[in-house]
Each structure stands twice: as C-alpha cells, then as structure tokens.
A = this chain, B = another copy of it.
Amino acid sequence: MSQTDEVKIVFTPSGRQGQVAKGTNLLQAARQLGVDVDSVCGGRAMCGRCQVNVGEGSFAKHGIDSTSANLSEPSASEARYAEKRKLAADRRLACQCSIEGDLVIDVPAESQVHNQLVRKAADNRTITLNPPVRLCFIEVREPDMHEPSGDLRRIIEALETQWADRVTGAITCDTHVLRQLQPVLRKGKWQITVALRGGNQIIAVWPGLKERILGAAVDVGSTTMSAHICDMNSGEVLASTGIMNPQIRFGEDLMSRVSYGLMNPGGADEMTKAVQEGLQQLIQGGAEQAGMTAEDVMEVVLVGNPVMHHLLLGIDPIELGGAPFALAVDTSTELRADEINLALHKGSRVYVLPCIAGHVGADAAGVVLAEAPQTSDKISLLVDVGTNAEIVLGNQDRMLAASSPTGPAFEGAQISSGQRAAPGAIERIRIDAETLEPRFAVIGSDIWSDQDGFDEAIKDTGITGICGSGIIEVLGEMYLAGIISEDGVIDGTLAEKTDRITEEGRTFSYRISDTVSVTQNDVRAIQLAKAALHAGFKLLMDKMEVPRVDRVVLAGAFGTHIDPKYAMVLGMVPDCQLDNVVAAGNSAGAGARMALLNMDKRAEIESVVRDIEKIETAVEPSFQDHFVRAMAMPHKTDPYEELSKAVVLPFRSLKDNAGEAATPSRSGRRRRRG
C-alpha cells in the first residue's frame, strides 16, 4: 500500500489514470478521471450497475501493485446487495468502495455507460450508447413548513446535485408527470426514479428504484413492419418482432395506397389509423415479449418510405403522388407518442428520421446511418428496392440520392405469376441449359422440386407464384439458358425442343410448373424495372463523375433474398467485385436502432441528409438515355468481361448457392462438370 496520502489508480480498458486522495470513493474517482462507470441509483448499492473488477498483481507498466485489499471492505449495503441480487465473487460495487491504496480497476463492458454494443449474428455493427432517456434515482428533500417549496423544485434540485453530470440545462417537467409527482414521492418515501430526457426534461417518475425502460426502433415498410425492442440503458435487443402492415388492405403497393387516399374521402385518415394501430400492436407485442409492457416504452424511433412517413404522422401523402413530389417536411420530427395515437408511457416520445426527398425516405436515411458511406473515402452505392428504388451514392466528400421509378415489378406486382414473398412462392430456380427443365424451391421449404419429398413439403402451400427476388433469378436463368435473347424476347423456336415454351398470341411464355409461367410481358416488366434502377445509379455516378463504385449495399428484404450474381446479370448493380456487393439485411431498422440509442446519431443523420444532393430523375435528360440503353439483357455497357468473370464463372459452380440440401439435377451436374 502506498505510504502517501495520495494513491495511484488506473482504469482499464480506458487506460485513464491519476492520483486521488486515499479514502476517495471509487465511483467518484472514476467520474473525476472521466471514466465511464454506469449507475442508476446514484451510489446507493441498489442498482448494481457500477460493478468493477480489481486487477490483482504487479503492473510494471504503471509501477504499482494492485490488490483487492487496497479497497475498503464491503459495506453493509454492498453485502445486502450481494446477498439479494447475486454479486460475483470477484466483483465490487464501485459506489461502495473507498480507495485505500494503488489499484488497477477493470470496468467490464456492461458497467460502461457508453459501452460499445456489438450487434448480434450477421448484424455485426457496433453502436455506441448515448441514449436520449436516462433513469436517475434520486433522494428528494421532504417539504418543510419553514422553507416552503414545491415538490418539483426539490426534485430538480436533487437531480442537479445528485446527477450533475447528466443535467444539461434548465429542467422542465411534463404535465402528466406533474400530476403524479406528489403520490409517487410519498409512495417512494422521497426516493424516486426519474426518466430524464435530453438532460433537461422530466418525462416520467416512479417510486423507488426503476431499473429498466424500453425503446423501440421500428422500420415501417409498405408490406411489413418490424421492430427491435431495446433496453434503453444497455442497448440490448430484448425482442425483435414483425407484422404485416395493416394498410395492405388498401393496396399492395405504395402508389395504389396513395390513389386510395385520392379516390376515397377520408382514405388517408383510414390508412393513418391502420398503420398507427399496427405500430401499437407491434411495439406492445415486442414489449411483452421482452417481459415488460407498453407502459415501459419511453422512446420510439421510426423510419419508413415517404408515403409511410407521411401517413404515420397523419399527413395526407397526396402531394407525393404527383410532380413535384413535395414532402410536407424534410427534416427530422420529434413528437409525443400520443400525437400519433400510440398508447405507450404517457411521457414517451417519437423521433422520426428525416426523409431525404419526395421518393427517398426516412428508411433510406436509416440505411445511410447504418452503412455510413459518409465516413469513408471509398465510394458506396446503397440501393433499397421497393416500389421505387431508393439510391444513395457517395463518400465522405459528397453524397447524392435519387429514386428510380422501378414500379412494383420487383415486388412481384405486374408479373403474371408474381406475388408477395410468402410460403408457396418460388424464390430459387435453376434451368438446365440443354433440356430447359427448371428445378426450384419455394418459400417455406428447403427441398428443391427435383428432390424426394418436395410434393409432401409443399402440400399445404402449393406452388403459388414467384416472389420479387425469385423473378430476378428466373429471368437471369432464362437468359443464361438461352430462353430469352439479349433484347429480352422469349425465343419461340425453342417450342420445338420443349413443351415448356408455349405460344400466347404473338409472343411466347415459359412454363415453370403447372400453375406458374413467365410471359413475355413479365420479361418486359422486369426489363423496365431493372433498366430504371440501372439508369438511376448511372445518373448519380455521372453526376459524381465516378466510373465505378467500391462497394454496393443491397438493403432491405429484397436485397437480402436476391442473389447478387443475378442482380449483376440483369444490370441491377454496377460492375464491381462481386464480393463487394453486400446484402445488408434490414439496414433501415439498424439505422433506426442507432438513432434510438445514440443522440449523436440523430444529429449526424440530420446533418448528412441536409447535405445530400437530391437528384430528381424525372428532370434529368440523361436518365432517359441510360434507361433505354439498360433495357438489354444482360446489361452490356461497362466491362462485360468483368461480368463474365463475376457472374458466368460463379454460375459454373452453382452448388454453393443451391443450399446444403440441394441435389443438383443430373443435367445440372453434367453442366458443371463440363
């Protein structure tokens, strides 16, 4: 033990260190040295958030011997906590320890306020925590006849003295909280937990210690709505839920909903009600999955395309249905949850990410936040395909965004056998180039159509159609098998070779199964859609004067299910190394979660979105040129050679892509061998 009145203390992993007076409280010392140690109860051995480990041994680097004997014995409160709440043998509550000698103290990740949260599984981004709402346990002075003051004043005083580092300015208090203050204070015997938002708003109070509140990050898609329910303190995802967007009854695709609103008086209000009710159901269900209730949800972050964004907020999206496609608001919005009829905690707030432009929504802003092209010198292309394709191109120097009018073909609409991604829909296919026989798999089954047990596997669903990502694969395979020509015509002469090619009026179609065929019109619809998508990113690349991109991120469900190779065959992504084409999953939702848990991310996306150059494809003459040129299959401009390496070659070892369970058909096997 050091013989002086000052001792040396080193915190890991931050590496912060300094001299403190012997006897200093360990939590205080951490704060003095700017070390992130969490606490809800404010040093009362109640919340257990400030757990630390003592580094034992000689630390030559720091020139000190550290031992747990250099910390005070556990206090009665700490012993009580250890008994009631289970404290690991090597852990101490920092708030209960005084420093008696040199120490190395390790702050485990879960005790750090701004801990780096590693997202699970495929979703391996990190989120730094800086949540908008924090729980603060306080002890409040009792009222006194000799010095009359309101209960709120004494609560604010307690926050200012007991949580000085969290208070950012003059504190206000929600009206609904005013109504609860007095009973809560008395029930809690002058100990309460306050939910402090933005460092200056009291939005909730609970008697005694409240340890956990929830946040919801929601991606409101036209088809599905999905939510992550998070612990607002740890950032942990406690539940992930999804439901169909109840608006589907007003029309499958976005434009049919806009026109529903246009054609039916009160239609927009009906759709608003539907999506708000869906949101309530989604969040409430998620909170219950997490073992809590809707009442525990204090913060919600929403992303969605511009039409969903407007309908959610109760804004009629009619202006988004025609030129000049004016958004009502292109900044972020913050409101009380009850303003959009969410029955959560009364103090709950909603933050909605900004839309980027009339057809580039808050979901695209979420993708930008998650993929962060603005932080790199590499050029990223972010593509989110829906009824429109939302496209963002750029890097740290410059960002552009546009929307391409792909129409709903990629969502399976306008395709004769097209359907939503649902059990029974064909999503994978291979066509034998010699026999022109297809083999395929449907959603809901891992067994391919040429495998034993297929009929049994699909007996409940049947083969109902082709989903959006499936149609890309079908077209790609049809082209590669020579069924469609470079200009997209189904080759009628092949009817002599197989009865799968049949004449329909003046064109031909290709039969995949008894119930599912691909018509010439289907091919045209996809050609138009893929050409629009291609023209969109080409236009942005022209504007930015870059001949190629370093990275392509396919966001959203469509991007997840599509096979990048086929996307490249069709020219749906620009030429680049195939392994630089990434399916990012629900990036929009990931961005929402970042904004939910970190206030800085809100400021960041607001600033990035403000600076993004918004390009309206409809007024760009070169868009039309690109569009016409991009109709061919495969896309022929740009290095076709690269394409053949990237696409045709991998195609020769398709086994990897057919899934573990796939047994290639005889012909397929033959081809691969050849």
CA distance A290 to B560 in the complex (A): 63
Bound-state CA distance A649–B330 (Å) is 77
Interface check A144, CB cutoff 8 A: yes
Q: Tell me whether A619 and B329 are in contact in the complex, defined as CB-CB below 8 angstroms, given that A182-B319, A313-B175 are known contacts.
A: no
Give the distance to chain B from A428, nearest Cβ to Cβ, in Å: 39
A613 to chain B, nearest CB (A): 10
Q: Which of B146, B173, B329, B333 contacts A329 (CB 8 A)?
A: B173
Of B151, B327, B619, the residue contacting A150 (CB under 8 A) is B327
| Cβ B614 vs Cβ A328 within 8 A | no
Closest to A142 in B: B324
A315 contacts which of B147, B179, B318, B330 (Cβ < 8 Å)?
B179
Q: Which residue of B lies closest to A340 (CB)?
A: B175
Tell me whether B152 and A329 are in contact (CB under 8 A).
Answer: yes
| A331 part of interface (Cβ distance < 8 Å) | yes
Decide yes or no whether A266 CB sits under 8 A from chain B: no
Closest to A172 in B: B334
Contact with B along A633-657 (1 / 0, CB 8 A): 0000000000000000000000000
Report if A619-B313 is in contact (Cβ < 8 Å); known contacts: A152-B330, A328-B181, A335-B175. no
User: Are A315's CB and B182's CB within 8 A?
Assistant: yes
Complex CA gap A47/B266 in Å reads: 35
Closest-CB distance, A387 to chain B (whole angstroms): 18
How far is the CB of A365 from the nearest CB of chain B, in Å?
Answer: 13
Residue numbers in B under 8 Å from A147 (CB-CB) = 614
* Chain B residues with CB under 8 A of A333: 175, 178
Please determine whether A151 and B324 come into contact, CB atoms closer than 8 angstroms.
Answer: no
Asked if A339 lies at the interface with its beta carbon under 8 angstroms from chain B, I say: yes
Q: Do A149 and B330 contact each other (CB < 8 Å), given the known contacts A143-B324, A144-B324, A319-B182?
A: yes
A357 within 8 A of B: yes
- Rounded to whole Å, the gap between the CB of A337 and the closest CB of chain B is 11
User: Within 8 Å of chain B (Cβ to Cβ): is A432?
Assistant: no
Which A130-149 residues sit within 8 Å CB-CB of chain B?
A: 143-149
How many angstroms from the CA of A435 to the CA of B223 in the assembled complex?
95
Whether A326 lies near B143 (C-beta < 8 A) is: yes
- In contact, B178 and A315 (Cβ under 8 angstroms): yes
A329 touches B150 (CB 8 A): yes
Q: Is the CB of B327 within 8 A of A145?
A: no
Residues of B within 8 A of A175 (CB): 313-314, 333, 335, 339-340
A146 nearest CB neighbor, chain B only: B619
Contacts of A468 in B (CB 8 A): none
Chain B neighbourhood of A329, CB < 8 A: 150-153, 173, 178, 181
- Residues of chain B within 8 A of A335, CB atoms compared: 175
Task: List the B side residues contacting A145 at CB < 8 Å.
Answer: 323-325, 616, 618-619
A251 interface contact, C-beta 8 A = no
**Residues in chain B near residue A148, CB distance under 8 A:** 324-327, 330, 357-358, 614, 616
Q: Which residues of chain A from 495 to 516 have a CB within 8 Å of any chain B CB?
A: none
Q: What's the minimum C-beta distance from A176 to chain B, rounded to whole angstroms?
A: 8
Chain B residue numbers with a CB within 8 Å of A299 are none
Give chain B residues whose Cβ lies under 8 Å from the Cβ of A325. Answer: 143, 145, 148
Q: How far is B146's CA from A601's CA once the two chains are assembled, in angstroms?
A: 29
Q: Are A328 and B150 CB-contacts (below 8 A) given A175-B335, A179-B313?
A: yes
List, in ascending order, chain B residues with CB within 8 A of A143's CB.
324-326
Chain B residue nearest in CB terms to A619: B145
- Say yes or no: A178 contacts B146, CB within 8 Å: no
A616 near B318: Cβ-Cβ < 8 Å: no
- The number of times this chain is found in the oligomer is 2
**Are the CB atoms of A179 and B318 closer together than 8 Å?**
no
A13 lies within 8 A of chain B by Cβ: no
- Our pick among B146, B323, B328 for the contact of A151 (Cβ within 8 Å) is B328
Which residues of B lie under 8 Å from residue A618 when comparing CB positions?
A: 145
Question: Which listed residue (B181, B331, B358) contacts A152, Cβ 8 A?
Answer: B331
Q: Does A316 contact B (CB under 8 A)?
A: yes
Chain A, range 166-202, C-beta contacts under 8 Å to B: 173, 175-176, 178-179, 181-183
Given A175-B339, A323-B145, A618-B145, CB of A150 within 8 Å of CB of B331:
yes
Q: Shortest beta-carbon distance, A90 to chain B, in Å?
A: 46
Contact (Cβ within 8 A) B330 A178: no
Residues of B within 8 A of A181 (CB): 315, 328-329
* Docked-complex contact A146 and B319, CB < 8 angstroms: no
Q: Establish whether residues B151 and A326, one from each chain, have CB atoms under 8 Å apart when the complex forms.
A: yes
Q: Which residues in chain A, 454-513, are within 8 Å of chain B measured between CB atoms? A: none
Complex formed: what's the CA distance from A315 to B318 in Å?
Answer: 42
Q: Is the CB of A616 within 8 A of B358?
A: no
Q: Which of A152, A173, A175, A314 has the most CB of B within 10 A?
A: A175
Shortest distance from the beta carbon of A644 to any chain B beta carbon, whole Å: 39
What separation, in Å, do the CA atoms of A145 and B149 have in the docked complex?
58
Complex interface: chain B residues within 8 A of A313 (CB)? 175, 178-179
A315 contacts which chain B residues (CB < 8 A)? 178-179, 181-182
Nearest CB on B from A201, distance (A): 13
Inter-chain contacts of A179 with B (CB < 8 A): 313-316, 328
A98-117 contacts to B (CB < 8 Å): none
> Which residues of chain B come closer than 8 Å to A183, judged between CB atoms?
316
Q: Which residue of B lies closest to A339 (CB)?
A: B175
**Nearest Cβ in chain B — how far from A172, in angstroms?**
9
**Best-buried of A152, A325, A340 by chain B (most CB within 10 Å):** A152
Q: Which residues of B contact A323 (CB under 8 A)?
A: 145
Within the complex, what minimum Cβ distance (angstroms) separates A612 from chain B?
11
Binding site for B on A (CB under 8 A): 143-153, 173, 175-176, 178-179, 181-183, 313-316, 318-319, 323-331, 333, 335, 339-340, 355, 357-358, 614, 616, 618-619
Complex A-B, nearest 9 residue pairs according to Cβ-Cβ distance, in ascending order: A150-B330, A143-B326, A150-B327, A152-B329, A145-B324, A143-B324, A148-B614, A148-B357, A145-B616
- 14 residue pairs of the A-B complex, CB under 8 angstroms, read A143-B324, A145-B619, A148-B325, A148-B614, A149-B330, A150-B326, A152-B330, A175-B314, A175-B333, A178-B329, A179-B313, A181-B328, A182-B315, A183-B316
List 6 other contacts, CB 8 Å, given A149-B330, A150-B355, A175-B335. Answer: A147-B614, A150-B328, A153-B329, A175-B313, A178-B314, A179-B328
